Amino acid sequence: MAMAPLQISKATDRNEQQRTGSKELETLNFKVPPEFKRAFKGYAVSQGVSMVELLREGFELIMQKRKA
């Protein structure tokens, strides 16, 4: 069963570029189960952040945790 990769809209790209000051963003493609995508997106919406922001924050936290 093939699943579509997570996609980020051009508006999200512009918002992320403005937030980070970065001129260029690259696409990161990977597949997740539909339940994970629903939960991830729902949590991002409930927190008022983009999925990109949520992914970045989670990645930063796990890198800090695994350094110890």
pLDDT in tens, 19-48: 666 678 899 999 999 999 999 999 999 999
Report pTM. 0.65
Handedness of CA 30, 8, 60, 18 (dihedral sign): positive
Model confidence band, residue 50 (pLDDT cutoffs 50, 70, 90): very high
Model confidence band, residue 51 (pLDDT cutoffs 50, 70, 90): very high
